[in-house]
Amino acid sequence: MAAGKGETMKHGFVKVAAVTPKIKVADTVYNREQICEEIERAAGHGAKVIVFPELCLCGYTCQDLFLQERLLDSCKEQLIKIAEFTEGKDALVFVGLPLEREGKLYNVAAAVHDGEILCFIPKSYIPSYAEFYETRHFQTGNKEAVSVFFDGEEIPFGTNILLEAEGMEGLLVGCEICEDIWVPQAPGISHAMAGATLLVNLSASNETIGKDVYREMLVKSASAKLIAAYIYCSCGEGESTQDLVFGGHDIIAENGTVLAKSKRFENQIVYADIDINRLRMERRRMNTFGFDDSLNYLVIPFALKAEETVLERSFPCMPFVPSNISEREKRCEEILSIQSMGLKKRYQHTGCKKAVIGVSGGLDSTLALLVCARTFDNLSIERKNIFAVTMPCFGTTDRTYDNACKLAKTLGATLEEVNIREAVTIHFRDIKQEMDNHDVTYENGQARERTQILMDIANRENGMVIGTGDMSELALGWATYNGDHMSMYGVNAGVPKTLVRHLVQYYADTCGNDELQKVLLDVLDTPVSPELLPPVDGVISQKTEDLVGPYELHDFFLYYMLRCGFEPAKIFRIAQMSFAGMYTDEVILKWLKTFYRRFFAQQFKRSCLPDGPKVGSVAVSPRGDLRMPSDACVRIWMEQLEELNI
């Protein structure tokens, strides 16, 4: 049953396809047979929007055969058969052909669905430069839709036409043809400003050296600036090679990211699962993306069945961390530069010459100390002005203590040790806290004592306390309020935990100091822990990820909730795919519930964060990306998770 308007495909995913069939020039019957075979394949694979190349019904390279009436009539005949073939296929199909209107010839895309020809969209820009001479045959298409009489029906004809899917809220399709994307005022711009979320391009782009790179850049750029999905489909083998070669370069992009592309010189079908809901969220978020109500567009509805798309799209387990090594190294260098430049400006503004930082031998404080060292080098301030303070207490192990000391000494910082056992013991006595009661007071009392010491040393030295907490901890509220939560500048506030590890690894790999590298590698090998509970046989007894869950899961949840605006059920669905074989569905759901509970409950800590630099597309600063009330209710998010059946 066709879906009524307002119904949606699950989570906004829709499968699309770009198809380059092998054709014969001017053999419209053969080409129609190939097109129908490919429609059958693509629709059978679940594609709901299927795009073929420019003039594929007869071939782009027909030259003066375009002026032959027999060719034009045959294209009409074969298009009617293609339309009949699509009946019951549940897909919107775009096919290119030449079409005469009022004595002039146009290069058009026919939009076909469920046995009907919905409209003809003509090419706007007709090239006649270099190897192109289309003005010899074709006219520029009209913008405002008019009617043409075709096969006994009046069918809309014009560039200002959008096709709206009734079974997928937000799927609005606009079309342009080949050259249209290469010009300054591409029709796709108007289409997007009129509401189109998916743009299709029927193309015949020949191959020359390096052209594929530029072509891909155009498609990525168009999809990015228009916050849209883009299907680019070009002709390939079968076109005439008299003077040109066509490589069948098909590209499907979404908001600046290529989801799929074909191998050139191999006629293929490429599929991608575009995320309409993600695009809608991006447009809502980006308030400078404006719709133009003055544009005169005809919107033609077509029905799609409401059903769940079988996803072939992948979602990286670590969305904050590039999988490509060279890209990751570039990212790490850039982040370290952002962190150190942010801190440098703070020192230049205040005239301060000293830093105070609590070092624990853990990842976060290690990264913060490395950033301090880099900043002081940039400022030509001696590293001895960095006071690395280690404050052992009840949970400190020899391993972390030794690493903290070695790290400070190797970097040339001034190491200062303040054992806080006695001070905390007296404090517990004063507030009547039993020493064997290892509750939250026992833990937080130590954290706040450490922060007090750092602040007072900073006063003593006329220095600044540099915060060490990372963005993942802030998202979960895994910080002691007015303890490690507080500093004078938080250099790690925009860095998620999964990326902290890679930043330290990158520093170890590039520092050129064997002794420093050895310490950093041991820090990387140490379990993440606040070390606020006594160790067992000298080994860390309190592992953060045992308590709040794996950070790789929480960073995954954080990215897709804040950056992409995904609902909980959608995040769970893609997490099942991304972490298959690593975590069971039950474990993923458990920690996803924990993430939402903690994220909402702990906003009050984020509402009063110290200053710190944003480094990526996600941030939780109350002065930056995240404006959220501290008393917002998590109920409707949790209700959706409770409804999941696993």
Q: What strands lie across the sheet with 355-358, from one edge to the other?
A: 414-417, 386-390, 355-358, 464-467, 489-490
- Helix extents (H) in 525-617: 544-548, 551-558, 568-578, 585-601, 603-606
User: What's the CA gap between 466 and 322, in Å, rounded?
Assistant: 27
CA distances to 97, 284, 354, 377 from 373, in Å: 65, 41, 11, 6
175 is catalytic: no
Would you list the DSSP string of 8-75? --GGGEEEEEEE-----TT-HHHHHHHHHHHHHHHHHTT-SEEE--TTTTT-GGGGGGGG-HHHHHHH
The answer to whether 118 and 158 have CB atoms below 8 angstroms apart is no
How many beta carbons lie within 10 A of that of residue 266, not counting itself?
11
Q: How many helices (H) and strands (E) does the chain have?
A: 19, 20
- Out of 75, 175, 178, 235, pick the active-site residue: 178
Q: Are strands 355-358 and 257-261 parallel, antiparallel or unpaired?
A: unpaired
Could you give the CA distance from residue 569 to residue 640 in angstroms, rounded to a whole number? 7
Tell me the longest C-alpha to C-alpha distance in the chain. Answer: 100
User: What one-letter code names the amino acid at 560?
Assistant: Y
Query: Which residue shows structure tokens 């630099």?
Result: 613
What DSSP character marks residue 206? Answer: B
β-strands 92-101, 104-113: how paired?
Answer: antiparallel
> In the annotation, is 123 catalytic?
yes
The residue assigned the tokens 């130590």 is 446
CA angle, corner 255, sides to 235 and 109, nearest 5? 35
Amino acid symbol at 26: A
Instruction: Calculate the CA 589 to chain-centre distance.
Output: 22
Catalytic residue among 123, 406, 570, 593: 123
Strand partners, 154: 149
Beta carbons within 10 angstroms of residue 301's beta carbon: 11
In this structure, what is the dihedral angle of CA atoms 348, 349, 355, 358, given to the nearest 10 degrees? -130
Q: In terms of C-beta density within 10 A (0-12 exposed, 13-18 middle, 19 or more buried), how is residue 597 classed?
A: middle
Q: Which of 54, 169, 207, 531 is catalytic?
A: 54
Q: Is 271 helix (H, G, I), strand (E, B) or coil?
A: strand
Q: Catalogue the active-site residues.
A: 54, 123, 178
